[in-house]
Amino acid sequence: MSLNLTSQQVDEIWMEVEQQCPPVESVDRVETIYTMPSLLGSGYGREIELYPGLELRIFNETYRDLLIQVSEDEHPVQFKVYLSGVEDSGDFLLLNTEQSYIGGSGIQRSIKVFTPQSQPLIGVDIHMQPHWLRQFFAAPTGELPVELQPLVRGDDWQQVFSPKTTKAMQLVVQQIVNCPFWGATKRLYLQSKVLELMALQLNGILGNDITSPSPSLKPDTIARIYHAAGILRSHLEQPPSQTELAQKVGVSDRTLRRGFHALFGTTVCGYLTEQRLNQAEQLLRHTNLTVAEVAHRIGYSNQGHFAAAFKRKFGITPKQCAMGKKPVY
């Protein structure tokens, strides 16, 4: 027999448990770890604030047979992918390892969510304010692609999408769950992985089959190329050579080059430079690091070369960026 609760009752159960057993901060002070209330089931959740207004939740929870009545409410932009488990919202949505979830911002309709007592729910959940969607995916003019505009509905009803979960998505989720880094490096790594996961999910909405740039690339090869891209993003200061990178992900040099050209439209070196400069812009805008410190952190030994590359990409100098000036494209 399932336990029937409202979303307000669920929130009250969580609040009561948190008063008795407060969440624990991880040793590196990046994560907040929550223990699931025994009344609802067992397991835990790990929450990380990646930016103000953008949060990642990693969960491993086993629910009782639980039916939750979720009332109308304001909804942020949300991305969710499961590695294990099922969440059933009746005619609204079936979320499992085959189907991921993208919920737009706006007003969420009242729904009933059923979580059967079976295998654990394991996966990631990303919540963010709408301005981050524009920050990450808008065109240089500041406009979102037409296909993504329904995700920003203001006071209107939210729109929901359920893209197919691909092997590439599953690989990124596994990398997020098993993040090998610590402290500030962990945060940077998870920032890049969350952005990669969102891009893979949005790829379905945009109507672009991930294999369409090169039909000869097998799904396993595509996943390996995305893994290689993740390695580069997490080692911006001291990236592996192209040969070392190919060996790490288990493909040949030629396949690595062909894969980067097919999936990202650039060379391995070009992709690395792009990611370094994107990371540099974020560091300059959101930290107190000096231009020299940022250049060193992303792998530039020569500050002049860094400044020149930065200005070619953004149309402004690193110093102007740190002072808040917007890019000029």
CB 104 within 8 A of CB 159: yes
In this structure, what token pair is assigned to residue 61? 């929870």
Phi, then psi, of 162 in degrees rounded to 5: -135, 75
The 10 Å Cβ neighbour count of residue 277 is: 19
In this structure, what token pair is assigned to residue 13? 């159960």
CB 71 within 8 A of CB 7: yes
CB 111 within 8 A of CB 87: no
- For 39, the enclosing helix (H) or strand (E) is none
Q: CA 8, 14, 19, 20: dihedral to nearest 10 degrees?
A: 130
In this structure, what token pair is assigned to residue 120? 């654990």
CB 307 within 8 A of CB 317: yes
Low-confidence stretches of the chain (pLDDT beneath 50) = 91, 208-215
Strands, sheet with 77-84, edge to edge from the N-terminal-most edge strand: 24-25, 32-35, 41-51, 54-63, 121-128, 77-84, 101-103, 160-161
Q: Where are the alpha helices (DSSP H) in the chain?
A: 7-20, 130-137, 167-177, 183-205, 219-234, 242-249, 253-264, 268-286, 291-297, 303-314, 318-322
pLDDT at 43: 93
Q: How many CA atoms within 13 Å lie on the side-chain side of 150?
A: 11
pLDDT at 137: 80
pLDDT at 319: 94
The 10 Å Cβ neighbour count of residue 194 is: 23
Q: Give the chain's domains with CATH numbers.
A: 3-161 (2.60.120), 274-322 (1.10.10.60)
pLDDT at 141: 67
Of 277, 106, 128, 266, the closest CA to residue 197 belongs to 128
pLDDT at 292: 94
pLDDT at 329: 60
Inter-helix orientation angle 183-205/268-286, to 10°: 120
Q: How far apart, in whole angstroms, are the C-alpha atoms of residue 250 and residue 245? A: 9
Query: Per residue in 73-122, pLDDT tens?
Result: 888 999 999 999 888 775 456 788 888 999 999 888 888 888 887 678 99
